[in-house]
Amino acid sequence: MANRTDPMAKSIHGTNPQNLIEKILRSKIYQNTYWKEQCFGLTAETLVDKAMELDHLGGTFGGNRKPTPFMCLVMKMLQIQPEKEIVIEFIKNEDYKYVRILGAFYLRITGTDIDVYRYLEPLYNDYRKLRRRLAEGNFSLTHVDEVIDELLTKDYSCDIALPRIKKRWTLETIGGLEPRKSVLEDDFEEEEEKEENGQLNAIENGAHDEDYYQERSARRDRDRDRDRRYDSHRYRENGHGHERDRDRERERERDRYQLREEKEYGRERERGRERERERRDRDRKRRKSHSRSRSRSRDRKRHGRSSISPRRYGDGLEDGSKREEPKKKKQKKEKQDDGTDHPDPEIAEANRIRASLGLKP
């Protein structure tokens, strides 16, 4: 009986409110000591006291996936289904940040799309610190605005699958929501009015005319860029941005292909230059070896021609008769036989000494 939903509770999203939490997590909550001892018999009025005692948020933690007190109180709110005014008071509570987060989490699960954006978006301006219990059991630091952004943009939070909600621009298109207005917009408008007034005064005094028009042009450009970014953001969210992303991906792929082609062309040219250098080296070596062999053959011919004995050459006539040589030539021949007429003076001197001793040259 303690785990049953209030008979007066209405179905949410077409089902029992407690079914918005998965069955395994519900079973763990029902078996938890905090649920049995602290959440038994709670009402919408007494639930506030328990919410004020919270000091962290989270889903489940530890090896056995034990549920946090925050999750037990969310389950209790689903069971008793407090009125919408009480939940809104939870969200507007500025003294206890975990009470505010508890109300925002419950409204995100059970509220309509318009209510979710209307009551949760103002919490973006709350930057207070929060403690979140992780699955490993330790704690991490987060902030109220980060948790709100997670509830509005993610599909999963605190181990619970969040119901899907429409995109904000869709609700703006059908007229369900007005365009979001930043809290800082009034401050920006005041600053712009001050700047314009100062520039108008400067124009009346006949000074800074050019600076005024340049500033106005720069402001117009900033407004145009802001509108363009907003339109492109809506365009991407509408699903039409995929073609643009595909075009960018094709351009990047084409650039990568051209870069690869240029690198391959450069490598091919380098290989061609290397082959040309090798061919020139081979031709140069071949010409050197050829010229060296020709010089050797000339030397052989020169030595062979000079080695012919002058005695044999022409020592007989065509008719076989011996040529009679003059006496001077015979003397010269004799001198040549003893080696004293050698072209080298040292060798000739040595031959003369050997001849005087009766030795051969």
Mean predicted lDDT score pLDDT of the chain: 79
Task: Indicate the SS3 state at residue 129.
Answer: strand
Confidence (pLDDT) at 217: 66
Res 308: pLDDT: 46
**Cα distance between the two ends of the chain:** 145
Which pLDDT band, with edges at 50, 70 and 90, does 265 fall under?
confident
Identify the residue with better confidence: 149 or 184.
149
Please give the Cα distance from 18 to 8 (Å, whole number).
14
The residue with greater pLDDT, 40 or 243, is 40
Q: Three-state SS for 57?
A: strand
Structure-block tokens of residue 348: 């000739």
| pLDDT value at 313 more than 50 | no
Q: Are 21 and 157 in contact (CB under 8 A)?
A: no
Q: Looking at the predicted structure, is the pLDDT value of residue 181 above 60?
A: yes
HSE of 65 in the Cβ direction (CA atoms, 13 Å)? 9
| CA–CA distance, 214 with 95 (Å, rounded to integer) | 47
The pLDDT score that the predictor gives to residue 354 is: 82
Q: What is the pLDDT of residue 318?
A: 45
Average pLDDT over residues 297-304: 65
Contact 327, 337 (CB under 8 A): no
In this model, does residue 149 exceed pLDDT 90? yes
Predicted confidence at residue 319, as pLDDT, reads: 47
Res 358: pLDDT: 76
Domain boundaries, the chain: 17-174
pLDDT grade for 148, boundaries at 50, 70 and 90: very high
DSSP track, 339-359: TTT-SSHHHHHHHHHHHHTT-
Render pLDDT for 40-91 as a digit per residue (tens, 0 to 9): 888 888 999 999 999 999 999 988 899 999 999 999 999 999 999 999 999 9
**Is the predicted pLDDT of residue 4 greater than 60, yes or no?**
yes
Select from 21, 177, 51 the least CA-distant residue to 112: 177
* Residue 200 one-letter amino acid: L
- DSSP line for 197-227: HHHHHHHHTT--HHHHHHHHHHHHHHHHHHH
The pLDDT of residue 255 is 76
For the ranges 60-64, 198-202, 309-313, the lowest mean pLDDT is seen at 309-313
Handedness of CA 102, 105, 110, 116 (dihedral sign): positive
d(C-alpha 341, C-alpha 246), whole Å: 103
Q: Mean per-residue pLDDT for 255-260?
A: 76
Cα angle, residue 247 at apex, residues 246 and 249 outer, rounded to 5°? 65
pLDDT for position 332: 53
CA distances (Å), 3 to each of 35, 78, 81, in order? 10, 11, 13
Q: What is the pLDDT of residues 219-239, one digit of tens each?
A: 767 776 776 666 555 555 555
Check residue 30 and give its pLDDT: 92
Task: Please report the pLDDT score of residue 53 as a whole number.
Answer: 93
pLDDT digits (tens, 9 = 90+) for 89-144: 999 999 999 999 999 999 999 999 999 999 999 999 999 999 999 999 999 999 99
Please give the share of the chain, as a percent, with pLDDT higher than 90: 30
What number is the average pLDDT over the span 247-259? 75
